[in-house]
Structure formats: C-alpha cells, structure tokens
Structure 1
C-alpha cells in the first residue's frame, strides 16, 4: 500500500465530522470539570487567581511554563534582545567575528545568571571533551561524554547544557557542534522572503503563548490528574480528552520554546532544528521525539551506528536499547524515567516486529491478494490508532504519574469495554486517516516540485 492511496472525499468528510465532534464533546466535559473543581481544596496549590475581573482562576501546575513566562520573563526578554542587538552590530561591522561575539555574550550571560562556579564547571566539561577528541580515542570520548551527561543531572545542575550560544543554552533545541560551526562560519546572507518567514514565526510563537494563557484559565488539564479521586469521576470521553490534551500541551510548550529560540537563531543566519512534530500526527514510535536536535544526534552516533539499516531484529534491539540508555542519562535517571524508557523501547521494537511480520509470509500474501489499496490503508490506519494510544499511555507515565496512567488505562480498556474502547478507537482511527491524507498531499506536492526541477 503506497502513501499516495486516496480515499473517497465523502469518507474523509465523515472522519473530519466525527473527529471534530468528539473533540468538542470531550472539551465540553473538561470545561465543566474544570469549573466544578476550581474551588476544591486539592486544587488550591496549583489553581491560583488569574483573571479576577472575569472570575477565572488559572492552572499554574507546570512550574517550567510559569518560570519562563512569569518569573524569568523580563530577564529572558532582556537577554535575548541584547543578544539580537549585539549580533546585528557584529554582523554589520565584523561578520567574521560573529562566533566570538556569541561566545563572549553567552559567557557573560551565564556568569550573570548562574555565577562563576557554573561557568568554570561548564568550561571544564568542554575542555575535557575537547582534549579527549584530540587524542582520537572513541572509547575515551564516549566515556567522558556519558560521564558529563550524567553529572549534569546532579542537583543543582539539572537541565543546563554546555553550549554558549545563548538562545540554545537556556531553551534548546540541541544543535550539534559540526552543524553550528559550519553555519556560523559561513558568510551571513539573507535569502529572499526569509525575514517575512521569521516575522511570521515570531508572531505564531507569541500567539501560541497567549493561547496557552487563555486555555489555562478555562481548562485545568495539569491539575486534575493530580487529584485521582476527582479524575476518577470524569466521564470516559473527558478522561480520554484529558490524557490526550496533556501530551498536546507538552508538544505546544516545546514548540513555543523552540519557536522563540529558532526565531532568534534565524536572525543570526542559522538554520536550527525544526520544532517537534505535532503529537496528533504521531502514530509511529519511530517518530516520537520532541527535540529534533537530540534525535539527530542519537540517530547519527548511537541508533544508526549500531542498528545499520534497521532491517534486522537483533541489531535493532541492541540499537534501541543503547539509544534509550543514553536518553535515560540525558533525562536524569530515576524510576519514572526507567519505566518510560523501557516502555518506549519496547514499543519501538514491537513496532518493528509487527512490521516484519506483515511484510513477509501469509499476512503479506493475504494483503496483496485480498485487500485493495484503499482497504489496506484502512487496516493500517486501524493499527495506527492502537499505536497512537500506546504512545499516549507510555508518555503519560512521565508527564503525569503512574497512578493517573493506570486510571486512564483501566477506564478506557477494562471497565469501559466494549463501548468506550471501541468508540475511542474509532475516533482515533478517524484522526489517523486524516493525518495519512495530509501525508499523501505533502507527498504529491513534493513529487510535483521535483518534477518541475527536472531539466527539460
């Protein structure tokens, strides 16, 4: 079954109607639950006064969002504005010194915000890795790299990375040194229409920040999961919407933070990693990553290096295990991270096993002989719907809690079977089909673009 297989327009219209109606229904349940629980004692710590003139409170359960956009907002705006100003002056006066300006300004910002001790520690890591690279011993580079990665998870160094290009330093995304060095060493040239795209991205990021602020005044999606007694009384549709919305919010947060940084980086004539792929479009474990920079690094130096072309089961297992070991060090070893890594590693490998089983033997023969391309797409979309909820459940463990994940799984799979289970599976199936249609459209557009570029 090719990606270009089309479905009837009426069928796609039905899928759109079902999906939009279901999301609206689940959203209504979440809105009513948020309004009903606003004054609960259990919500007191994370639901604070917001728009008092409208009588609305605000969900402030995500300390990271609150920290970046309230406590540290002015400092961030000041630091990034200064970076943009000095970078522009340096580009106009001495573009060949841009990299030095980035380093000097970044170092001064780190000293001002974190103190000289942090700077010395970060420089120590950088010097150690640089010396190891000069010795040309891969095992030494790997050992020092893993040791450095692990040490950054020791309090109070959690979440700080050693990259003195200021925008990437605080927010990410991760950009490998070879790409950064190659881009910053090039002569700064602005392509036609690039400034318009930068302004559009900046406007989109600002709009997303406002949208999240508005959303948290009406939907307490981060606080409700912490009160299991209250969450257990939600209707099945609202509970499913709550689980889904938590992952969507995590994607939005990453997209906003990376979007702000990418805007600044593009002003500096860099081509940073793209924002993460929308969680709604993820029905394959192989594409579930939020930081494309980290994903590129892991694929280049760990996953692809060990797994090769990823066609064999055993090398793929070894590659995925090694990848998640490094990821565990990156995230910070703890019980929840261990569980998250095991679940996602299993999901990635199980996906490969099923794919291999479907490509060879009786299943492949049955698909080719008995199923049309459209029916094959429908069957694959159904499998994608199951995969989609596996991705949600496996990642919900790290975003909320194991107890909340167990509650969602029990309600949607066990006590809600068969009505709730089949209904949610069908709604998800509709969503996967719409995502596949979008992928088909993009593939056709890419094919047309390549045809136009071919010489006559």
Structure 2
C-alpha cells in the first residue's frame, strides 16, 4: 500500500539533514513532558469518573495490590487475554516443546508434527467440526489453485468473510483467508498438498497473526535460521522478558488510563476539555501499539524459535509521522501481503496514474472489508487512501529535478526539514483522527472534529507542536537506520 514500497529508499523522504544535538534534546524533552502531562490528565479524569464508567460495565476489579479498577472495554485485548488464560499459552508452549524435541530426536518428522499439532490445536480451539470445515475448505482451495486463475482464487475465498461465526472462528477464518489466498496466488499448484496444508495449519501465527506470505514461509522452512543452543536460550530469555514487560505495560495502562472506556461513553467524552481529549487519543493510540507488541510478539517469538523470520513488530507510533509510514511499519506482514497480492497485480505505481488509483483504491477497499466492512471502517480506509495518495503526490513532485533544485536553492536543508516536519504534523493529526474512527466509530470522530474546529489556536498549536517534535525524532530515527543499513551493506 505504500506506493514506493518496492522503489529505492531515496524517494521516501524529502530531506534527512541531521539535526543539531541541542535541537534533538529539545524535541525529546518536549515529547516526554507532553506524554507525562497528558497521561496524568487522563489518569485524573479516570479516577474522577470511575463510578460512571464502572456503572456501564466498562470497568472491573483489577490487580488487588493496585486498588484501582481495570478498563475492560477493549474487546480484542479482553478476548485474547481470556483465551491466553484458558489454554492458548499452553498450546503455544506445547508447540515449542514438540518442535524442539523433533528437531533433536527426529528432524525428518518435524514438519509432519507441526501439521498434526496445528490441526489438533484448531480442533481444540474450534472443535472437530471447525477443523473439518477448514480442512475441506483448504482442499477445495488447493484444487481451485490448479486453474491458475486469480479470479477463481479470490472467489473461492469469499465465503470465509461470510457467516455468523463466533469471534474466535471469525478470526481464524480471516487468518485462513490470507493464508489460502497467498499459496493459491503464488502458484501453489507447483507445490505439494503437504506444503499447502502445512502453511495453513502452522499454529503460532494462526489465531491472530502476524501474516506471512506463502513463498517466504516455504523458503524459510527449507533453510531455517537455527541458532546455537547456548545463543538461542539467552536470546529467548531476553525476548520473553521483553514480552512480559510489554504485557505489564499494557495491563498498567488499562488500570491507570481508562481511555478505551471514555471512547465508548460518548456523552461523557463530549463534556471533557480539549487537553483531556488529546490525552485520551494519545493514550488509546499508545495502548493500541503496546497491545500489538504483545499480540504479535508472542507468536513471532515462537516462529523465531522454529528458525523462521516473522515480519518485524510494529514500529513505535510516536516516531511514525505519516500515512505511508503507518501502513508500511505497523503491520508489516499485512502490508507485504497487500502489496504482493492486490496492489502490484492491479498495476501498482509503474503503469500510470489511473492504474495506481485503481490499485490503491482496491487495496484499501479490501482492508475495510477484511476488518468488517462497516461504514466506520469504510470512512477510515477512505481517509487513509486519500492521505497516502496525497503523500505520494508530494513525494513524486519533489523528486522532479526542477523542483529539487528550486527547493535546494530556496531553503537551507535544515529549514526544508523543519517545513517537512510541520507538514507531516498536520498529516499525523488526520491519521490519529481516522484511527479514532477505527477504534470507536464516526460518533467519536465527530466529537474530535468539533474539538479541532472549536478549540481555537491554542489547541491546534499545541497538537502541532507535539506532533512536530515527534516527526523530527521520527525522521532522525529513519536517518540513523538508513546510515546503519548502508554501513552494514
């Protein structure tokens, strides 16, 4: 979806002139102060309205030693926390133990054990009827893949988006859809049925991701990146410790900052000050990031222990300053899947403006439908589509030699970078607003839109100042990452 996802790195940013050390320290200090101040305001109103939020079943008793209630209105976190405590963690631990034993005792049967254990895990989660449905659906998809028709592959997978299933079955259906489309469109007929089924029933990423493409999975399984035992154990302990810290941070945020509960109580939300509304938005976006560090981090850890290389974990949202960067770096596996199987087959950015518009519109339309297809999601996807198009247009314009030479003559590199930071701060405001619609619906989006209009210059100026600092540090982080990559090459 990032239109220059497969082009050279030089088109990604207008200017990456390094910042002065004092300026970097100033931006970092402002970001820390803004976070602490806004989170403190949210905590104060969370305590103030605890009874109101609790009466609507948005809160329940939390950790006893904290003496405060926990926000349980985030359905996704509550749902997966329930399943984690009811056997899902043991299921993943069983996969790790089985994989290690087969690797050291009967390596030739390791993949077969992955497949059998994955099927057993699906039967435990969805019942044997659910397992049978997935097997039959996988076999039908494998037969359809022989036709070498992309249209037939997509039509075959349409039913996985339909039906009144439980949330767990629906989530597995969404995951299996991306898994089925991937091998079918990757010419799975050249592979055996075993590889097809192994990819679909490989357990660690099946419940909730991350998404992996079929060709990448097969290549990594055939050439695993196995660590030596002593290095692998130390690495696994570090990763597990980090994962536990992310989980503790997420749980602490739910106890201290009831941002999700406020977003579900629109009448109360309307009565809050602009500063508190800004803090709630920041807290909710931050929690969403930490939540997916946990939800993607656990299966990614298991995949790494199997010798595979999962997609990178989400990038820190504080340092993500554009529509394009959000889509490229938050759910990297989904981004790669969309680019490979929707955007590029429909033309991408190399076949003219009309094909680019069609390919990008189809990509975002699929994302909206894949998440549920409601009006709120269509608006969210539409705003992001327009935002990515706008950023692509600006980058294309600024990459023209005449424009680049004019900008170089008119502005000092640092001045150009600061102007870029201001523009991306505006884009980030729109990104956050669209994500609030994704989190809680258009009614919450209307409340925040009215806040932008009625808040006056101090509200807008404060948001721009904070997001400008975030954008500058985000560009600095990209600059350092590019230098490190160039040095390693």
Question: When the two structures are superposed, what TM-score results if normalisation uses the length of structure 1?
Answer: 0.91
Q: Which residue is equivalent to 1:441?
A: 480
Q: Secondary structure at the match of 2:417?
A: helix
Give the unaligned 5+ runs of structure 2. Answer: 1-12, 177-199
Corresponding residue number in structure 1 for 2:447: 407
Partners of 1:56 and 1:217 within 8 A in 2: yes
Match of 1:158, SS state, is: helix
The answer as to 2:79 corresponding to 1:39 is no
Find 1:271's aligned residue among 309, 331, 335.
309
How far off its partner does 1:307 sit? 3.7
Partner of 2:253: 215
Q: Please tell me whether residue 5 in structure 1 is matched to residue 45 in structure 2.
A: no
Give distance in 2, aligned partners of 1:248 and 1:149.
31
RMSD (Å) for aligned C-alpha atoms: 2.2
Instruction: Please tell me whether the aligned partners of residues 303 and 323 of structure 1 are also in contact (alpha carbons under 8 angstroms).
Output: yes
> Structure 1 378/396 Cα, relative in aligned 2: closer, same or farther at 3 Å?
same
Instruction: Report if aligned partners of 1:80, 1:167 keep a CA contact under 8 Å in 2.
Output: yes
Cα 1:76–1:12 change in 2 (3 A) is same
**Distance of aligned partners of 1:393 and 1:167 in 2 relative to their CA distance in 1, 3 Å threshold:** same
- CA displacement at 1:231 relative to structure 2: 2.0
Q: Closer, same or farther in 2 for the Cα pair 1:132/1:225, shift >3 Å?
A: same
Change (3 A) 1:42 1:78: closer
Q: Report if aligned partners of 1:65, 1:253 keep a CA contact under 8 Å in 2.
A: yes
Deviation track 1:173-227 (CA, whole Å, cap 9, x = no partner) reads: 1112222222223367325844433322211111111121122211111101122
Question: Structure 1: where are the runs of 5+ without partners?
Answer: 451-456
Partner of 2:372: 332
| CA positional deviation for 1:378 | 0.6
Equivalent in 200, 211, 222 of residue 185 of structure 1: 222
- The answer on whether the counterparts of 1:25 and 1:237 sit within 8 Å (CA) in structure 2 is no
SS, match of residue 305 in structure 1: coil
> What is the CA–CA distance in structure 1 between the aligned matches of 2:365 and 2:16, rounded to whole Å?
37
What's the counterpart of residue 60 of structure 2? 48
TM-aligned CA distance change 1:61 to 1:261, over 3 Å: same
CA distance in 1, matches of 2:227, 2:259: 42
Q: Contact 2:171–2:208 at 8 Å: present in 1 too? A: no
Q: Secondary structure at the match of 1:40?
A: helix
1:432 to 453, 468, 471: 471
Q: Using the alignment, how far apart are the partners of 1:41 and 1:278 within structure 2? A: 29
Preserved CA contact (<8 Å) 2:349 2:355:
no
Indicate conservation of the 8 Å contact 1:307/1:315, yes or no: yes
Following TM superposition, by how much is the alpha carbon of 1:424 offset from its aligned partner in structure 2, in angstroms? 1.1
Find out whether 1:231 has 2:231 as its counterpart.
Answer: no
CA distance in 2, matches of 1:417, 1:314: 39
Structure 1 residue 287 displacement after superposition = 2.6
1:166 aligns with 2:197: no
- Please report how far the alpha carbon of residue 148 of structure 1 lies from its aligned counterpart in structure 2 after TM superposition: 4.2
> Structure 1 residue 14: deviation in Å?
1.8
User: Could you list the runs of 4 or more consecutive aligned residues of structure 1 that deviate by over 6 angstroms after TM superposition?
Assistant: none
Aligned length: 447
